[in-house]
Amino acid sequence: MGLFNFFTQEIAIDLGTANTLIIHNDEVVVNEPSIVALDRNNLKNVLAVGKKALMMHEKTHESIRTIRPLKDGVIADFNAAELMIRELIKMVYPKKPLFPPSWRMMICIPSSITEVEKRAVRDSAEQAGAKEVYLIHEPMAAALGIGIDVEEPVGNMIIDIGGGTTGITVIALAGIVCDQSIRIAGDEFTADIMEALRRYHSLLIGERTAEQIKINIGAAMKDLDNPPDDIPVNGRDLVTGIPKQIMVSYQEIAEALDKSIFKIEEAILKALEMTPPELAADIYRRGLYLTGGGALLRGLDKRLSQKIKLPVHVADDPLKSVVRGTGLALKNYEHYPFVMR
């Protein structure tokens, strides 16, 4: 068995709608967008994955196809997902090892996932070369990654705003007490920005440009303490059909995102209503924890704490807290009861 253990390598994967991260030996070795570019004539042929494929996204001709295999936090295109996982795992060892290791993988999944979708994650990991696959719910992983002791009898509320879904979860005693999941998150914000520019400036922009706007000047409130500068945005004029450039301010973006953020606030209030009173008392003392890429939106923590009147803490590195927690859970996977075999 000793020899076998030598060949078994452990990796923790955060398979997200927008980004996929892999931790190996306690460090993040892969942090790539969840997108893959395939050859249309031979769909088994991967042309690019991650950042390279994102460069091609929305700029392809008919023989290249870029696919985002995950929709709303779950696998939508099984084939592409398996190819993507396989290529990303190859990035862990850039040099091809003499004996390819057998992987012990832990993958995190949304807590609102169905059995069928869970099966899809497990199968695509096994197809990509995993010997053992463990699953863990994202809010649990996020709580571990933030540094919360999940096993104590104290309630914590974790709000994970990812690419496809926002999960609002109350955790106590190493289990999920109640959870709300809505399909409004990063992708929806991006769509809102595209729609707003189309409506108010009659400018057509692509998904990637909208994503860049969101990262550079995205905001949840119209009055920020240190506001970002206006940025130039290039796109196609819908009236003349000629490419043009406009200047966009963060206030416009805040207005565009207002509806979606309001829905997130509603979902948080709904989750708080479902919380048992003792845990609600704990949450009042501890506040809410924000994690996921959406937590980086400027002024979001301030806006939520004004609405809900509770302290809101943003995790240190919100994009990586889930994968860090997955890595911690993988280290002592026998010890934690919430790991799914």
Helices H / strands E in the chain, number of each:
11, 18
Q: Is 165 annotated as a binding residue?
A: yes
Let me know if residue 50 belongs to a domain: no
- pTM recorded for the entire structure: 0.92
* pLDDT tens digits, 257-316: 999 999 999 999 999 999 999 999 999 999 999 999 999 999 999 999 999 999 999 999
Q: Is 295 annotated as a binding residue?
A: yes
* pLDDT tens digits, 160-218: 999 999 999 999 999 999 999 999 999 999 999 999 999 999 999 999 999 999 999 99
Q: Is 292 annotated as a binding residue?
A: no
List residues bridging with 159 in a β-sheet: 168, 290
Q: Is 206 annotated as a binding residue?
A: no
Q: Is 142 annotated as a binding residue?
A: no
Q: Is 19 annotated as a binding residue?
A: yes
Does one domain contain both 244 and 306? no
Does one domain contain both 223 and 177? no
User: Is residue 57's pLDDT more than 70?
Assistant: yes
- C-alpha separations of 164 from 218, 243, 244, 318 in Å: 17, 30, 30, 16
Which residue segment(s) compose the domain that 162 sits in?
Answer: 151-183+261-315
Q: Is 211 annotated as a binding residue?
A: yes
What would the two tokens of residue 73 be? 């936090």
Q: Is 213 annotated as a binding residue?
A: yes
Let me know if residue 197 belongs to a domain: yes
Does one domain contain both 266 and 294? yes
Q: Is 163 annotated as a binding residue?
A: yes
Indicate which CATH number applies to the domain containing 270: 3.30.420.40
Does one domain contain both 227 and 190? yes
Q: Is 156 annotated as a binding residue?
A: no
CB neighbour list of residue 57: distance below 8 Å, 6 or more residues apart: 35, 37, 66, 207, 208
Q: Is 60 annotated as a binding residue?
A: no
Q: Is 152 annotated as a binding residue?
A: no
